[in-house]
Amino acid sequence: MTVDDRELMTEISAQAQIAEQGRPKVADVLALANALQRDFPHRSVDEILTKLKSVWRARGLSWSGE
């Protein structure tokens, strides 16, 4: 895992924490993946979306936008 990947996962975790605090709101993970891809261009939107869904699923969060 690269430094950029660790930073990406840190940002995804921070976004998941925000989503947890805002329950029962549903996060638009596709919009979030697009926004994160601008900051982490070494990963595609699809790769980031997969990571987002994995973290959201592990935390029992809901999402929209696929």
pLDDT, tens only, 45-64: 999 999 999 999 998 888 88
Give the global pTM.
0.70
Output the six-digit token pair for 17.
């924490």
22 to 27, 28, 35: CA distances (angstroms): 9, 13, 19
Please write down the long-range contacts of 11-15, taking CB distance under 8 Å and 24 or more positions apart. 11/36, 11/39, 11/40, 12/36, 12/48, 12/51, 12/52, 12/55, 13/55, 15/52
Task: Label residue 24 by pLDDT band (50, 70, 90).
Answer: low
- Per-residue pLDDT at 15 exceeds 90: no
For residues 34 and 11, the answer to whether their CB atoms sit within 8 Å is no
- Per-residue pLDDT at 8 exceeds 90: yes
For residues 52 and 19, which has the higher predicted lDDT (pLDDT)?
52
For residues 18 and 7, which has the higher predicted lDDT (pLDDT)?
7
